[in-house]
Amino acid sequence: MRIGELAERAGTTTRALRHYEALGLLRARRAGNGYRAYDEQDLRMLRQIQALRAFGFELEDTRPFVDCLRAGHPEGDSCDASIEVYRRKLAELDECIARLTEVRERLGSQLAHAELTFAEGASEPRCEFSCEADEGSTR
């Protein structure tokens, strides 16, 4: 199949395919007329790349999966290098979740404090900056 058909079947653009080719993730063969030629295996590799990208993987992170498919494995994640990328990505996600959990807890504490202060009779919430500005004024 030609580049336009591959792009259509994969739901992407020919520009993306050329980019993947420039990075060595996709390898086009050339037909006698010079046109790029692809087959079902190329579509399979492209779908592997797209699935990983949907999970948030960078393009370079997809390389071990593509290499695994090129080596003849039935799945792109059945090689040691692919499994290592999964492990690294999970560790990154765990780290991100921990940071977000910490921020959420701090934000929850701030909200609880603000609600308590407001409920105890403050007519309106005040910002520390506005308090300092009021104290320095000569009204």
Fold observed for domain 3-135: Multidrug-efflux Transporter Regulator; Chain: A; Domain 2 (1.10.1660)
| Whether residue 130 has pLDDT greater than 60 | no
77 within 8 A of 65, measured Cβ to Cβ: yes
* pLDDT single digits (tens) 26-64: 998 988 898 899 999 999 999 999 999 999 999 999 999
User: Which pTM value belongs to this model?
Assistant: 0.73
> Is it the case that residue 11 has pLDDT exceeding 70?
yes
> At 136, is the secondary structure helix, strand, or coil?
helix
Q: How many CB atoms within 10 Å of residue 38? A: 23
